[in-house]
Amino acid sequence: MIVTIQPSILSGIIHAPASKSSMQRACAAAFLTNGKSIIHNPGHSNDDKAAMDIIARLGAKVRLDKGELIIQSEGVPFTTHGSPFTINCGESGLSIRMFVPIVALSKKEITINGEGSLLTRPMDFFDEVLPKLGVKIKSNDGKLPLIIQGPLQPANIEVDGSLSSQFLTGLLMAYGAVPYPFEGGVNEESAAAKIFSIKVKNLKSKPYIDLTLNVMKKFGLNVPENRNYEEFIFYNDSSKVSPPTGGGNLEGASYTVEGDWSGGAFLLVAGAIAGPIAVRGLDLTSTQADKAIMDSLIRANAGIMINAKGINIHPAQMTAFNFDATDCPDLFPPLVALAAYCKGITKINGVNRLTYKESNRALTLQEEFGKMGVKIKWEDDVMLINSIGKVKGARVHSHHDHRIAMACTVAALKADGEMIIEEAQAVNKSYPDFFNDLKILKAEINNQFSLPENQGIFE
Q: How many CB atoms lie within 10 A of CB 109?
A: 15
Give burial (CB, 10 Å; 0-12/13-18/19+) of 231. Answer: middle
List the beta strands (DSSP E) in 390-441.
395-397, 419-422
Catalytic residue among 48, 260, 290, 330: 330
Going from the C-alpha of 52 to that of each of 23, 30, 69, 135, 212, the distances in angstroms are 9, 10, 10, 24, 17
Cα separation, 40 vs 43, in Å, equals 9
The region, left, alpha or beta by phi > 0 then psi within -120 to 50, assigned to residue 72 is beta
Q: Which of 127, 131, 92 is nearest to 113 (CA)?
A: 92
Closest among 410, 443, 440, 442 to 424, alpha carbons compared: 410
Largest CA distance in the chain: 72
Q: What whole-number distance in Å separates Cα of residue 441 and Cα of residue 276?
A: 9
d(CA 182, CA 123): 28
102, amino acid identity: I
Please say if 330 is a catalytic residue.
Answer: yes
Active site residues: 330
